[in-house]
Amino acid sequence: MTIAEFSISKTWQSDRRSPVRWLWSHAMHHKLLLLGIIVGAFGNGMGAGLVPMFIGRGFDIVTKNLGVAALGTTALLLIGSQLVRGVLMLMRNFSSEAIGQQVERDARDELYLSLIGKNMSFHDNQSTGDLMARATNDVREINLLFNPGVNLVIGSINFMIAPFILVPSIHPQLLIVPAAYALVYGFLLKGYLDSLRPATEAERKTFGELNTTLAEAIDGVETVKGAAQEARETARFDRALKKWRNAFVRQGDIEAKFYPLLLLGLLQAAGLFHSLLLYRWGQIGVGDVVAFNGMLTMFGFPTFAAQFAYSRVSTGMSSARRVLHLINAETTLDQNTAGFDGEMDGSVIFDDVTFSYTGETNALENVSFAVKPGQTVAIVGQTGAGKSTVTKLINRTYDVSAGKIIIGGVDVRDWNLEALRRQISIIEQDIYLFSRSIAENIAFGAPNATRAEIMAAAKAAQAHDFIMSFKDGYDTVIGQRGVTLSGGQRQRLALARAFLTDPKILILDDSTSAIDSATEDKIQRAIEEASRGRTTILITHRLSQIRWADMIVVLKKGRVAMVGDHDTLFRESEAYRNIFARYE
């Protein structure tokens, strides 16, 4: 089973060993609908085959002058068979549409849960645009694989099966031409599918790249406009669009070369010639000739429909491969549901920790320090020293490459991941706010919080006054990432979010960088209040915060240069003095 940070227990598990097995396991989860497609398609094929059979019988009745009553009975049987066929066709089409929608929903749910469960190392290497293309368009193509794709494929197969069931009742020799056609048809179809697969995969891949280009342009539109690069980005999008268009046209070229279409005329000519020979030899009658040649026209449906249906199936399979590739992607972290889930005391120990994002250059190397419960620790260093990396290892956003981190006396790898992260709150400089109300954003980590608790947290973070200045107050819906708010307002909402969760460990990663001096004094007091009884880790360049820390860890090029208080470090650490001198 794929390792994941997060998962939801399900009553069934899809088979992820291959795209075909995966889709089949989803389809088999809806057995009744699948049965409806098969039974309906078979009934439709047989019903279509009965039409020329009854027409042939009608010819015999007329030519042999068997009477109006016999002709009327045949007509009623024909009408009755087609009424039954209509019901079965409805069942087939309804079942195929329903199973397509169900599988699309199930596949999208499975993909979403999988993406949520992947760790940050996975997401660091993915483009949002391509992920969105797979989660939306590729999953939609899986729906179209079932309907009209599989629906038409099963229907066309039954249209080819029906003559082989009904023709022997006319004359067994008449199977020769349809059998030869079926063999050649199968051979050509295999070649068609073999050439179509790489084309559909290329079309899906280039569509994902197109979506990535579009997502980057929209997400970075402020940067694009600020640098006056609209024309360049438009040209970049045009190139991606042209690449996708060329792949799409290439797929269309392959679909146009569907050689079974050429065989259809040969089939009908050869069948007519063979049936006329048997008629001349007195082995079949006029009605039999009519019935047999009428059934040969049934091969037209699978021949014409297959050109479209198999294209849908091939595209759907290519999309299924792309979706399943994401689902099956292994991650290095799991949620460790059986791990320790008790209450932590706030102590943090880094024991000879080494970490690398890429597996090549170490971001941290042999880092060791210990934080007692309730202490306030400042981590300082030049840009790129590894300060933010330290915070991401504490809540196990990433896993150490070597050494160990002990939280509350328990190795982070032995913690239940949810219990660990529930008791740690991190406020980063780049605040992410959702396109929801202010109240919902504050209560994101504590969704059951009351409005009074939300307001109390906002007041502690010095955010209440500016929230109430909005027309809708706490019900004000903010733009994605909080673009409608100032930097200081976003950071105060993030502080309120952290205060509301009441964490045992509070990590502030340069979280007051966008706050003016007047507001900083208020937030400083709020942070001091929030720090009581909990461990607080500060990554900051503000001297006012560094000075009052119980302990300061100085990092230099991923290593601990020195640990101590402000006076000791300023006196004994050149690395610290160099940092401090920048702000004197």
Q: For 470-489, write each residue's pLDDT tens digit.
A: 888 899 888 665 667 777 78
Q: Helices (H), strands (E): how many in the chain?
A: 23, 10
Q: What is the pLDDT of residue 515?
A: 59
**In the predicted model, is pLDDT for residue 448 greater than 90?**
no
Predicted local distance difference test score (pLDDT) of residue 352: 92
**276 has pLDDT over 60:** yes
What does the block give as tokens for 262?
């050429």
The answer regarding whether domain 348-581 maps to CATH 3.30.1330.10 reads no
Place of tokens 């190397």: 365
d(C-alpha 514, C-alpha 527), whole Å: 16
Question: pTM here?
Answer: 0.71
What is the number of other CB atoms lying within 10 angstroms of the CB of residue 487? 14
- pLDDT, position 462: 80
The domains of the chain are located at 19-328, 348-581
DSSP run (H or E) holding 426: strand 424-427
DSSP 319: H
For residues 361 and 389, what is the distance between their CA atoms, to the nearest angstrom?
13
Q: Which range (6-20, 132-146, 171-185) has the least confidence?
A: 6-20
How many whole angstroms separate alpha carbon 253 and alpha carbon 307? 12
522 pLDDT higher than 70: no
DSSP symbols for 323-377: HHHHHH---S----TTSB-S-----EEEEEEEE-SSSSS-SEEEEEEEE-TT-EE
Residue 408 DSSP symbol = T
Higher pLDDT, 187 or 548: 187
**Cβ-contact 387, 381 below 8 angstroms:** yes
pLDDT tens-digit readout, 137-164: 888 888 988 988 888 888 888 888 888 9
Which pLDDT belongs to residue 6?
55
Q: What percentage of the chain exceeds 70 in pLDDT?
A: 91
Q: Tell me the CATH number for domain 19-328.
A: 1.20.1560.10
Q: What is the pLDDT of residue 8?
A: 57
Per-residue pLDDT reduced to its tens digit, 77-131: 989 999 999 999 999 999 999 999 899 888 888 888 888 777 776 776 777 778 8
Mean residue pLDDT of the chain comes to 83
Residue 35 pLDDT grade (very low, low, confident, very high; cuts 50, 70, 90): very high
Confidence label for 518 from pLDDT (cuts 50, 70 and 90): low
When pLDDT is averaged across residues 183-208 and rounded to a whole number, the result is: 86
pLDDT reported for residue 1: 44
More confident call, 72 vs 12: 72
Closest CA to 213 of 240, 253, 189, 186: 240
Residue 42 confidence (pLDDT):
92
Report strand pairing: 535-539 vs 376-381.
Answer: parallel
Q: What is the pLDDT of residues 43-78, one digit of tens each?
A: 988 988 888 888 888 888 888 887 788 888 888 998
- pLDDT the model gives residue 514: 53
How much of the chain exceeds pLDDT 90, in percent? Answer: 13
Question: Is residue 398 over pLDDT 70?
Answer: yes
Q: Residue range 358-362: average pLDDT? A: 79
**248, exposed or middle or buried, with CB in 10 Å at 0-12, 13-18, 19+?**
middle
Per-residue pLDDT, averaged over 380-386, amounts to 82
pLDDT at 330: 72
